[in-house]
Amino acid sequence: MTLMTVEGLGIDFGGVRAVDAVGFAVKPGEIVSVIGPNGAGKTTLFNILSGVYRPDRGRVMLDGMDVTAMAPHRLAALGLSRTFQNLQVYLQMTALENVMAGRHLAERCSVIADLLGLPASRRRTRETADIARGLLARVHLERAAEREASSLSYGALKRLEIARALAAQPRLLLLDEPAAGCNAVETEEIDALIAEIAAEGVAILLVEHDMKLVMKISNHIVVLDHGEKIAEGAPAEISQNPRVIEAYLGTQAEGGHALC
Amino acid sequence: MYEFLQFVSSGMTVGAVYALVALGFTLIYNASDVVNFAQGEFVMLGGMTTVFLYDAGTPLWLAAVLAVMITATVGVLLNKLAVEPARGASVVSLIIITIGASIFLRGVAQIVFDKQIHRFPAFTGEDPITVAGAAILPQSLWVLMGGAAIFGVLYLFFTRSVIGKAVLATANNRLAAKLVGINTTAMMTLSFGLSAAVGALAGVLATPITLTSYDVGGGLALKGFAAAMLGSMGVPAGALVGGLLLGLIEAMTAGYISSDYKDAAAFIVILTVLFVMPRGLFGRAVAERV
Amino acid sequence: MRLSPRTWTLIILAVLIALAPVTFPSAFYFRIGALIFVNGLAVIGLVILFGYAGQISLGHAGFAGIGAYSAALMPMHLGLHPALALFAGAVLSGGLAFLIGRPILRLKGHYLAVATLGFGILVFIVLNNEAQLTGGPDGMAVEDLGLRAVSDALGLGLRTAEVWYWFMGLVLLLGAFLALNLHTSPTGRSLRSLHNSEVAARTLGVDVVRYKLTAFVISAVYASLAGSLQALLNGFVTPDVAGFLHSIEWVTMAVLGGAATVLGAVFGATILTALPQALTVFQEYEHLLLGLIIMLVMIFLPAGLLPSLGKTLRQGESI
């Protein structure tokens, strides 16, 4: 049973086909990576899938339901969560509050109760804080809980964003370059974390430039170039695919193992 | 029909002044992202300075030229002393600074000049010209021609001259402009000076019709800002259309409905336009970058 | 036991309100104090809109106008007690904010600013022009709220200005209490998250339109109550209560004090209410000085007075 199916997806920006005729499917617990050179349309694809952009062509199905061009907050309610390539952390909130805010959908409370500070509202906040602390521990940020996000390092913010996305208890998690700017140790941690999340049955869609990471953890890889899908398959197939190598290295390609 | 022409002519006259104030907003906004609520004070300073120099015996043309130069200097000082030192402050903080500047300039005007209502004689006589039955003041023609000339000269400046293009480049992308060697700080100073001069010219042209006093700036800033937003902030053609439209709506409402509600009609139109076109008449949709 | 920032803020406010009268040489100062609290209440509402949700408004005096004229007109024409009229006005303002908020809050930045400004001006124009009802620019008298009578009945022996001071002090504390509760609540977190990154908030399930509207309605109710209370305090009201300058005054108070905090709101309200009173001794130099002070504060303390001072103090500690 597939969780998400993408068919013939396309979007134009001022006559430029940023994404065109892209299709693939994601199953629960599967890690699908989207790779491609800079400007291939990976982030644009993520923006369409998460409802930030409306596609001009094609459709997106979630659980067999057509969710094309659905508003982001409604997609979130259906179990879709994401991180951002260039970080959209709530910088003026503490690390803990960032993750707590990720629990938004689970902690609906009445405005009146919140204004009056009724016990129900305060209890909800305490429960959310406990869960958020657990998630911070999972990304090794428990000691930064009370610090304002703006004071954290880039690597820490990357992990904070993953924790916040996890707080929404997604069934499908879109990770946009989670390891960018991270050192080798941090990358390995993120690698392990992603595998762990997938093992819990969450489907993961990953955009990442670190090919070692991609080849190691992906079940399936989709390759984009100039907005179009040029290849798709298991990591072993992709790393041998001449079109992929050409897209990545241009005419200077020397061997089939350049991607590994 | 006579009536209609009459309303059109008065609406265009007031609208031209609004368009010039809106143009002033746009010039500064493009160069610095600052919405300068002291823009109306430039109009006041242009009018009031001319009045006092003229009353002191200066020939009217010389008084007008001096007034524009003095106001331009005030604009440059405003940038140097209040806006540049606050670089990096939030948009709202910068707005508050310009509001503070506007209160300050009003305070200075009330001391340097006075609190009376003033005017100076029209440039070429006070007798109305009759066109198709509608009486038009010669000064109205001065306002319209003057406004058109200012827009025309600035258009040529921005599209033909190297400095003008440098200002546009700064408006488009400050960092990129800096990288290609444009002195963006100087461009900001120039924009403030230019914007103040445009405001002062509007004051000089309109004072014989609209009269002036130390406190006319606030209302003009409000209308100019509204006109600039109606035509999309940062677009000079939008300032022109927004200003004229605002003036015409006011004149028509005042003529056919009630002069009490002329301002209301203007703002109802602005709200309606923004509800349908959230970026104003000349705004382009931009994709959110994330 | 460690006290939360919420509790600290309330304690500080309560102590300041209680102790300030020690320094008051005359009843006039109690009146200024009450006016400060009225403005503080409205500015706390703006902190919810601005500081929490990140949405600007240059027209909230419009809601103050609705509140003020509700307090003036409803007792006269509907026979409502002023206290009830105050609540009726708040409901009216909240309802209106709900209706116009949806289209207005779709706008961003300066477009939002001009739309809210337009709304405020429309209210002002109606109040100014419907002279048969509102008395036009000359304004109209407002019925007594009856606070003095209550105070006398309780045998408190307070002068009218003093009664108003203590009453408004309590109202301000209540307003601060609600706003502080909101800050750390689920709703407050959602508001602050959409302020920090609207796109992230949307992808985490926040219905941003609904939450912006919530903040808009709450702040409109605060402004309306402040308008009503100001009218009742003065016993008189003119359309200026809804004027553009009044909106700008409140925005300046919020930004000057530090837009994100309740304490900053009260601080800003205190300074900008007291300063013009103090500057009247400079007579015609009043405007000049007021403008100068606003500019200097924003240039040298761009984050607002309170946060900037706080930062300086903290730096002092760490050295």
Supply the mean pLDDT for chain A: 89
Q: Name every chain B residue with its beta carbon within 8 A of the beta carbon of C253.
A: none
Secondary structure percentages of chain C, helix, strand, coil, to 5:
80, 0, 15
Q: Do A81 and C204 touch (CB under 8 A)?
A: yes
The token duo for A236 is 């072993």
- Write the residue in C50, C56, C114 that is nearest to B226 by C-beta: C114
Chain C CB contacts of B234 below 8 Å: none
Average pLDDT in the C255-268 region?
A: 86
**Among the partner residues C187, C196, C203, nearest to A50 by beta-carbon distance:** C203
C312 shares contact with chain A (CB less than 8 Å): no
- Helices B184-210 and B2-32, axial angle in degrees (round to 10): 160
End-to-end Cα separation, chain B, in angstroms: 55
Neighbouring chains of B at 3+ CB pairs under 8 Å are A, C
User: Could you tell me the pLDDT band of residue C200, with boundaries at 50, 70 and 90?
Assistant: very high
Q: Which of A52, A85, A86 sits opposite B288 (nearest CB)?
A: A52
Chain A: which residues have CB within 8 Å of chain B? 13, 43, 47, 52-53, 84-86, 88
CA–CA distance, C34 with C27 (Å, rounded to integer): 11
pLDDT tops 90 at residue C36: yes
* Partners of residue C293 in chain B, C-beta under 8 Å: 100
Does the beta-carbon distance from C202 to A76 stay under 8 Å? yes
The CATH number of B2-276 is 1.10.3470
Contact C273, C39 (CB under 8 A): yes
Instruction: For C148-175, give the DSSP string.
Output: HHHHHHTT----HHHHHHHHHHHHHHHH
Contact B109, B44 (CB under 8 A): yes
Q: What is the pLDDT of residue A39?
A: 83
Residue C314 has pLDDT above 80, yes or no: no
How would DSSP label each residue in C60-123?
Answer: THHHHHHHHHHHHHHHHHH---HHHHHHHHHHHHHHHHHHHHHHHTTS-HHHHHHHHHHHHHHH
pLDDT category at A204 given cuts 50, 70, 90 is very high
User: What residues of chain C lie within 8 A of the CB of A100, using their CB?
Assistant: 189
**Integer CA distances (angstroms), B121 to A164, B20, B60, B202, in order:** 69, 21, 9, 15
Predicted pLDDT at C171: 97
Name residues of chain B where pLDDT drops below 50: none
Residues 18-77 of A with CB under 8 A from C: 50-52, 71-73, 75-77
CB contact under 8 A, B288 and A86: no
Closest CB from B105, B233, B275 relative to C103: B275
Residues in chain B closer than 8 A to C46 (CB atoms): none
- Its sign, for the CA torsion B145, B148, B154, B156, is negative
| Residues of B with Cβ-Cβ distance to A85 under 8 angstroms | 290
The domain segmentation of chain C, as residue ranges, is 28-318
Domain ranges of chain B: 2-276
> Chain A closest CA to C305's CA: distance in Å?
18
Residue B133, sorted as left (phi over 0), alpha (psi -120 to 50) or beta, turns out to be left
Query: CB distance B290–A88 less than 8 Å?
Result: yes
Residue among B90, B289, B290 with most chain A CBs within 10 A, to mutate: B290
Q: CA-nearest residue of chain C to A92?
A: C196
What's the Cα-to-Cα distance from A241 to each of A111, A255, B4, C167, rounded to whole Å?
56, 11, 75, 78
In this complex, do C286 and B263 lie within 8 Å of one another by their Cβ atoms?
no
**How many C-beta neighbours within 10 Å does residue A8 have?**
12
Chains contacting C (3+ CB pairs below 8 angstroms): A, B
Inspect the interface and report whether the beta carbons of A114 and C187 lie closer than 8 Å: yes
For chain B, say whether C275 makes contact (Cβ under 8 Å).
no
Q: In this complex, is the C-beta atom of A129 within 8 Å of any C-beta atom belonging to chain C?
A: no
Query: Is A101–C205 a contact, with Cβ atoms under 8 angstroms apart?
Result: no
> Does C2 lie at the interface with A, CB-CB under 8 angstroms?
no
Nearest residue in chain B measured CA to CA from A89: B290
Q: How far apart are CA A5 and CA A228, in angstroms?
A: 16
pTM for the model: 0.91
Q: Which of residues 217-276 of C touch A (CB under 8 A)?
A: 218, 260
- pLDDT at position A255, please? 40
Q: What is the pLDDT of residue B21?
A: 96
pLDDT at residue number B90 = 78
Cα–Cα distance measured from residue B247 to residue C303, given in angstroms and rounded to the nearest whole number: 38
Contact B268 C122 (CB under 8 A): yes
Does A73 sit within 8 Å of C205, measured CB to CB?
yes
Closest residue in chain C to residue B97, using alpha carbons only: C295
Cβ within 8 Å, pair B290-A86: yes
Phi–psi pair at A135, nearest 5 degrees:
-70, -35
Structure token digits, residue C29: 């100062």
The verdict on a CB contact (< 8 Å) between C207 and A108 is no
Chain C contacts of B279, Cβ < 8 Å? 111
Residue with token string 């006005």: C89
The burial class, CB within 10 Å (0-12 / 13-18 / 19+), for C3 is exposed
Q: What one-letter code names the amino acid at C234? A: N
Q: Does A131 touch chain C (CB under 8 A)?
A: no
CATH architecture of the domain with residue range C28-318: Orthogonal Bundle (1.10)
Q: Do A90 and C178 touch (CB under 8 A)?
A: no
Tens digits of residue pLDDT in A115-171: 999 999 999 999 999 999 999 999 999 999 999 999 998 889 999 999 999 999 999
Helix spans in chain B (H): 2-32, 39-55, 60-78, 91-112, 138-160, 162-172, 174-179, 184-210, 217-230, 236-252, 262-276
What percent of chain C shows pLDDT beyond 70? 96
Q: Return the pLDDT at B285.
A: 61
pLDDT score at A259: 46
C5 alpha carbon, distance to own chain's centre: 21
Average pLDDT, chain B: 90
**Partner chains of A (3+ C-beta pairs under 8 Å):** B, C
pLDDT of B177: 86
Q: Note the helical H segments in C235-304.
A: 244-257, 262-279, 286-300
A24: which 2 tokens?
């693939």
Residue A204's DSSP bridge partners are: A31, A173
Q: Is C159 on the interface with B (CB under 8 A)?
A: no
Domains within chain A, CATH numbers bracketed = 4-79+170-252 (3.40.50.300)
Interface test with C, best of A104, A124, A125, A146 (most C CBs within 10 A): A104
What is the average per-residue pLDDT within C273-298? 86
C260 touches chain B (CB under 8 A): no
- In angstroms, the Cα distances linking B217 to A36, B18, B112, C204, C217 are 57, 12, 16, 45, 32
Q: Which residues from A are below 8 Å from B287, CB to CB? A: 13, 53
Residue A184 has pLDDT above 90, yes or no: no
Q: What is the pLDDT of residue B175?
A: 82
Q: Chain C partners of A89 at a C-beta cutoff of 8 Å?
A: 196-197, 200
Q: What is the DSSP letter of A3?
A: S
Q: What tokens appear for B109 in the block?
A: 């005007």
> Residue C178 — pLDDT band, cuts 50, 70, 90?
very high
Q: CA end-to-end span of chain A, whole Å?
A: 31
Q: What are phi and psi of A32, to 5 degrees?
A: -110, 125
Q: Is A31 helix (H, G, I), strand (E, B) or coil?
A: strand
Complex-level ipTM: 0.89
* pLDDT, position A256: 40
Tokens, residue C279: 């500057």
Residues in chain C within 8 Å Cβ distance of B290: 199
**Interface list for C 90-119 with B (CB within 8 A):** 103-104, 106-111, 113-115, 117-119
Instruction: State the pLDDT confidence band at C261, using cuts at 50, 70 and 90.
Output: confident
Which DSSP helix (H) or strand (E) runs through A20? strand A16-26
In angstroms, what separates the C-alpha of C220 from chain A's closest C-alpha? 15
Average confidence (pLDDT) over C222-243: 96
- Residue of A11, A52, A84 for testing the chain B interface, max B β-carbons within 10 Å: A52
How many residues comprise chain C? 319
pLDDT at B16: 96
Distance, in Å, from the CA atom of C85 to the CA atom of C70, rounded to the nearest integer, reads: 6
Alpha carbon separation from C85 to C142, C147, C242 (Å, rounded):
11, 15, 18
Which single residue is written with the structure tokens 């909130």? A93
Question: Measured between CB atoms, does C174 come within 8 Å of chain A?
Answer: no
| CA A243/CA B126 separation, integer angstroms | 80
- How high is the pLDDT of residue C285? 85
C125–B91: do the CB atoms touch at under 8 Å? no
How far is C90 from C224, CA to CA, in rounded Å? 5
Instruction: Identify which of B108, B260, B278 has the shortest CB distance to residue C288.
Output: B108
- Residue in chain B nearest A54 by alpha carbon: B287
3-state SS, residue B45: helix
Contact state of A111 with C187 under an 8 Å Cβ cutoff: yes
Tokens read off for C285: 């130099």
Interchain pair C185, A165: CB under 8 A: no
pLDDT digits (tens, 9 = 90+) for B152-196: 999 999 888 888 888 888 877 888 888 888 888 888 899 999 999
Task: Give me the sign of the Cα torsion angle B226, C139, C237, C85.
Answer: negative
